Structure 1
Amino acid sequence: MQTVTIAGAQVPAIGLGTWHMGDDPALQAQEIEAIHAGLAAGAKVIDTAEMYGSGRAETLVGKAIKDVSRDQLYLISKVLPTNASKARMEQSLDASLKRLGVDHVDLYLYHWRGQTPLVETVDELQRLTEAGKTKAWGISNFDVADLKELWQLPNGPQAAANEDLFNLGSRGVEYSLLGWQADHQLPFIAYSPVGAPDQLPTNLASNPNVLTVAQRHHASAYQVLLAWVVSHQQVLAIPQSSNAVHTKENVLAGNIQLSAADLKLLDEAYPAPTKKLPLDVL
């Protein structure tokens, strides 16, 4: 299975996303079952955020992991821009930890840029890391210009990962961002790695070339889409599913090795960018 190393911690390259989970009490048992299925299949990363359902996703994760050994988990959460100040961030993180039922997260991300000066946010992220409430910190929805600005700050290069939208139908980050992050040993976390219905003009999973590659590997189209994302070095994918079978399949996609011929076929369907594009954001 492909792996990614974040701040010295090696984790399987496919984890579990939780956006939109925890919103419907009637689905709680099913969603917890899906998280358990993903962990049983070998996932370690669970990605969540205080924004997701105004904390309901974190509460759901907390219920799902209460009997799971902490060292079997790599927990990521995120702070909203409105809470990313010296005055508010620790209170925000404490609330996330309480909902998750843990004393620390493994990675705490600045969800997207807001009005607080970047240096203030970064210094507070570093302080909370040194206080042990998170093992590492990072950023989300940052592009190359943002990262260059970050790297000029005293604590900026302490960032452990950047999380952005990336999938076969949304390849803009390949033009310069992935290369910049590789050059600076900054792992990349891909959200919406199989595409999002409201983001893409067509469904990636129904593309003939994707289906051809899936048949070659006796895999589902979604597994191929995930395998493509994590075929990039130091890229972690966090697909979300509330279905236990699908969640297991997602995690097992990390075992699929795409050939040069597979990659060529996928490139023909969805070519790599030839110029800098605006960062895709959901």
Structure 2
Amino acid sequence: MLQLEDIRLKDGTMMPRLGMGTWFFGEQFRYQAREVEAIRRGLDQGIRLIDTAEMYGDGGAETIVGKAIQDVDRSGVFLVSKVYPHNACPGKIVTSCSETLARLGTKYLDLYLLHWRGGIPLQDTVAAMEDLVARGKIKRWGVSNFDVADMEALFSVPGGEKCAVNQVMYHLGSRGIEFSLRPWMKAHGVALMAYSPLAQGGALKKELVSHPVVVSVCARNRINFHQLMLLFAMRDPDVAAIPRTSNAKHVDELIKGLYVTLSEGDWARLEEVFPAPDRKVPLDVI
């Protein structure tokens, strides 16, 4: 069973580094059994973090997760879900969170994220999140798709500094956060959770898959493209990643790939063709 060091959040809680994403889960009934199987396989293999959202499949993904964990010790699973921006206010968030909890079949979330910044004032969202903490419906909260200016705005309102996590796109072909956002988050104790670490949904995936250096590094280390991508996202011990797959065999492959160690030369070759930016670039979002 795979064992990785956890990430210590600012409240002292240990968050698993490897999770399972559920984007597109619960959208078609014919795939539900395999989606449940994939999550259960991950849990069996030692993955303890599951990420979902009320947006995914209009709650269908949360229902899938609920089915997958119904016979699992709740204390051994770190559950993350996300709320729509238009529901992230005191008048609506309790309902949204309660419906999420019902679909998941649990009494609380380990982490609740604002899916992206919307029109609700941040001070209202922070107050709403803190109310959920007080009610025992969530343990802590964070954000998703926030760039530096958004994080600064968040920290300027009362309680904003309690933000535990920022979930953003991050992979070999999307390294923009390394220039300014990642350093800012480290300085303020906000953990990074990388979504789309396998470049799913990204325009660069075709270029990445076929790039000669990527192909040669994969061949030399006897790994596939997705295994390489996950290795990149998790090379920093302070980064959590949530790859998504609905195939149980692919879950096994991803975990197997994490036992591979790339040479400094291979990392240098990848760095040369897909370098981190030397200036601020717009935040990648899908």
TM bracket, shorter-chain basis: over 0.9
Matched, 1:75 2:79: yes
Render the CA deviation track for 1:45-73: whole Å, top value 9, x for unaligned: 10000000110000010011101110120
Partner-residue secondary structure (3-state), 2:206: coil
8 Å Cα contact 1:14/1:251 also seen in 2: no
User: What is the aligned-residue RMSD (CA, Å)?
Assistant: 1.6
Counterpart of 2:159 (choices 131, 155, 159) is: 155
Letter in 2 for 1:120: D
* Residues paired across the two proteins, number: 282
8 Å Cα contact 1:167/1:193 also seen in 2: yes
Matched, 1:40 2:51: no
1:201 to partner: Cα distance: 6.1
1:2 to partner: Cα distance: 4.6
8 Å Cα contact 1:85/1:120 also seen in 2: yes
Letter in 2 for 1:14: L
Letter in 2 for 1:141: N
Matched, 1:5 2:34: no
1:203 to partner: Cα distance: 4.2
Distance 1:259 1:146 in 2: 37
Render the CA deviation track for 1:185-243: whole Å, top value 9, x for unaligned: 11101111111345226342333322333334332221111111111242111111010
Distance 1:9 1:254 in 2: 24
Matched, 1:196 2:195: no
Consecutive unaligned residues in structure 2, runs of 5 or more: none
Counterpart of 2:88 (choices 80, 84, 98) is: 84
Letter in 2 for 1:240: R
Distance 1:9 1:214 in 2: 35
* Cα gap change, 1:201 to 1:108, in 2 (>3 Å): closer
Distance 1:76 1:67 in 2: 18
Render the CA deviation track for 1:13-41: whole Å, top value 9, x for unaligned: 22100000111111111111111111111
* Cα gap change, 1:197 to 1:212, in 2 (>3 Å): same
Further displaced range: 89-98 or 2-11 = 2-11
Render the CA deviation track for 1:104-153: whole Å, top value 9, x for unaligned: 01000001111111000011111211221111100001001111111112
Consecutive unaligned residues in structure 1, runs of 5 or more: none
8 Å Cα contact 1:50/1:80 also seen in 2: yes
Alignment partner, residue 138 of structure 2: 134
**Identity of counterpart residues, as a percentage?**
44
8 Å Cα contact 1:23/1:53 also seen in 2: yes
* Cα gap change, 1:216 to 1:77, in 2 (>3 Å): same
Matched, 1:64 2:68: yes
Alignment partner, residue 49 of structure 1: 53
Distance 1:207 1:8 in 2: 41
Render the CA deviation track for 1:149-190: whole Å, top value 9, x for unaligned: 111122011111000111111111111111111111111011
Alignment partner, residue 35 of structure 2: 31
Letter in 1 for 2:72: V
Distance 2:103 2:62 in 1: 6
Further displaced range: 178-187 or 90-99 = 178-187
Within 5 Å, give how 1:241-260 maps onto structure 2: 241-260=245-264
8 Å Cα contact 1:2/1:255 also seen in 2: no
Counterpart of 1:217 (choices 206, 216, 221) is: 221
Partner-residue secondary structure (3-state), 1:78: strand
Partner-residue secondary structure (3-state), 1:139: strand
Letter in 2 for 1:49: A
Distance 1:164 1:247 in 2: 22
Counterpart of 2:26 (choices 6, 11, 22) is: 22
Letter in 1 for 2:232: W
Distance 2:82 2:149 in 1: 21
Further displaced range: 144-153 or 76-85 = 144-153
Distance 1:61 1:207 in 2: 35
Letter in 1 for 2:193: I
Distance 1:72 1:256 in 2: 26
Structure having greater relative contact order (Cα 8 Å, sep ≥ 6): 1
8 Å Cα contact 2:5/2:237 also seen in 1: no
Matched, 1:238 2:242: yes
Letter in 2 for 1:238: I
Matched, 1:146 2:161: no
